[in-house]
Amino acid sequence: MTLPIIVAVAITVFVLGVGGTMTTVGPWYRDLRKPAWNPPDWVFGPAWTVILGFAACAGVLAWVQSSEAGVHLRIAVLFGANIILHMLWSPLFFKLRRPDWAMIEVPFLWLSIAALMVALAPLSKLASLLLVPYLLWVAFAAILNLSIVRMNRPFGSKS
């Protein structure tokens, strides 16, 4: 069980690191109009750390419940797709300054989490439940993203 934990921790640290470097809270972001219920900037780092920590635990729990190569491959593919989708959002929103494009990407991220929950449930109910905060946070982030798009469009003009 030690190797799956080490791999999960390494992947989580990598994803958090990439997310942190892709998230520039500079003048462009600060100047965006945001809803009054937008959390303070400092909330996002700890929230993502806890949420992705839970996701890593979910992956380890599911992984150790099966020794079948096919099941391991399915878990790896689903988490891999989720990681790619997770890591796409910040560059779309912050680097390209396209909250509208990030909004289009969010449903795919949300569905990847739901797919993980469904796939992990037969292996470990706890693993599936550990992904609930991730699903809820992405749903909240989607609503926030949509609000920002509506309050600030159009995007993509030269500025």
Which two three-digit tokens encode residue 146?
């949509």
Q: How confident is the model at residue 45 (pLDDT cuts 50, 70, 90)?
A: confident
Element (H, E) at 64: helix 41-64
Contact between residue 51 and residue 133 where contact means Cβ atoms under 8 Å apart: yes
Handedness of CA 139, 21, 36, 102 (dihedral sign): negative
What pTM, to 2 d.p., does this model score? 0.88
Nearest to 141 by CA among 112, 102, 111, 95: 102
Nearest-angstrom CA–CA distance, 73 and 79: 10
> 50-104: per-residue pLDDT in tens?
999 999 999 999 999 988 899 999 999 999 999 999 999 999 999 999 999 999 9
Q: Is-cis flag, bond preceding 4, omega within 30?
A: no
Please report the domains of the chain, with CATH numbers, ordered by start residue: 2-152 (1.20.1260.100)
pLDDT for res 2: 87
